[in-house]
Amino acid sequence: MTSTAHDGTTTAVTLPELVEVVAGEVAAAKGTLELVLEDPSRATALGNAVESTPESVERAIAAAQAAHASGTWSSISDAERAELLDAVAVALEARQPELAALEAFATGVPVRQTSIVGMIVPGAFRLAAEMLRSGALLDPPAESAGGQAVEVLRLPVGPAVCLVPWNAPAPMAAHKVASALAAGCPTILKPSEYAPYATTLLGVTVAEVLAEAGVDGGVFQLLQGGPAVGGAVVTDPRIRAVSFTGGAVGGRAVAAACSEKLAALQLELGGNNPLVIMPDADPEAAARAAVDLLTTLNGQWCRALGRLIVPEALADQVVGLAMERLGRLTAGDPLDEASDLGPIVHSVHRARLEAALEALRAAGGTVHRATSVPEEGNYLAPALVTGVSAEAASEEIFGPIATVHTYATVEEALALANGTAYGLEGYVFGTDTEQALAVARRVHAGEVKVNGSTIMSLHLMTPRPAWGLSGLGEEGTVETIRCFTNARVVGVEGSFSLHGR
């Protein structure tokens, strides 16, 4: 595939074959889905998405269970696993430009952004290795009442499944897979059927490195497909841990399956994130933050702007300045370094976003747009929508669309910020940092940034929790590794029997 930059130059991208890796064997996935994959920049068809057959799914689960039962992976030392994770990182670093280009092509996110986010892919494996070396799976021994040492062992729960979405899929896959392998779990990865390319390349790379080291083929495997394959692995009783990032409908189904068999579960399900502009905020800074949060990853990320909450006296000025900034963005081919904004991932999702805009109009909203976008392709000009009630703006849209809400008092602002069932991310902007922090501490979200709007977490070693409908459990550098473990407490009690001698 080729892309054309604004200056007329072209860039070629080679799409990898959509293979599966099952029990150490690499082969083309034999099933197909009705979903037709697209080049989002042109909205042209690329052929049907692929799917692993039920036979491949069964072989993969059986191989993972056999690897767990044999202890072939869990029995090696943390230091040995760390060395292998570092080897994976080295191999992925060599493929980083290719991974970034595939992410840009498949998701529509400009390559300037996928190149930065793509650093997470090898970085996730290096970080997991460092966590093993620093004792992430070791708790300090306690001492019993009788003076005996009591050990706390963090052990892998069993075969694990990592299900990743189509937005920034390779970085999320890297974080999940590196964490599961670090914990000692045989791991099965399933990419999103909408954007499988970079995740497939990542999975093949992991499998190659482990195979060269003589690791059992059941330790890491790659399956392709949609909800049917995802459902088959998640509901299987041999799978003992699931990490899922995606929508609320899928998340509820995964949660139900895991609760039925009492398996470990980690869910991140998105949010309808508020940006609270304090009365003393600099309007320029507020507008810049709003545009950044509206357009990063083309607005297709779980921590994007959902609701702009601004003082009545500043609303027109902030929206006006945001429109000026949006008007200066360059929309175009995501593989063009000059592009600030790319297309929506698929025409199906673009249609959902257009329907969401129409619903906001029908609810009394006025749509404000200023970005010129190409007529060809799945492009959608970012929009701020004023005049919509808080009740009509309670659901996540997952695109470059946000509603604007005004307030008279800070208490009203907090009521608006906390007025949805979600609680993933929050943002507060103000000149007085202490006042902004005081408001941030009252926002119902897992992470709340003051005067910041990047895609990165506040700190590498803090958790990334989710409140309400935004998910279950905590993600994080250490937290995700421990999600795939359970504790075993071992020691000599050294006490006496209640009865007898």
20, 38, 51, 268: the catalytic one is: 268
The span from the CA of 126 to the CA of 88, in Å, is 8
Residue linked to tokens 């998105």? 270
Contacts by residues 449-458 (CB-CB < 8 Å, ≥ 24 positions apart): 449/425, 451/285, 452/427, 453/275, 453/288, 453/289, 453/292, 453/293, 453/427, 454/292, 454/296, 455/113, 455/117, 455/296, 455/297, 455/301, 455/303
> Helix or strand or coil: residue 109?
coil
Instruction: Say if residues 332 and 376 touch (Cβ distance below 8 Å).
Output: no
Instruction: Say if residues 29 and 19 touch (Cβ distance below 8 Å).
Output: yes
Residue type, 174: A
Q: Convert 111-129 to b/e letters by CB count within 10 Å (16 or more is b).
A: bbbbbebbebbbbbbbbbb
Cβ count near 227 (within 10 Å): 13
Residue 265 burial (10 A CB sphere; 0-12, 13-18, 19+): buried
Residue 312 burial (10 A CB sphere; 0-12, 13-18, 19+): exposed
Residue linked to tokens 């007025």? 419
**Continuous segment of H or E residues that includes residue 295:** helix 283-295
The span from the CA of 264 to the CA of 473, in Å, is 10
- Of the candidates 199, 192, 197, 168, which has an alpha carbon nearest to the alpha carbon of residue 456? 168
Residue 253 burial (10 A CB sphere; 0-12, 13-18, 19+): middle
The span from the CA of 376 to the CA of 40, in Å, is 9
Active site residue 268: yes
DSSP state letters, 423-441:
ESEEEEE-SSHHHHHHHHT
Catalytic site positions: 268
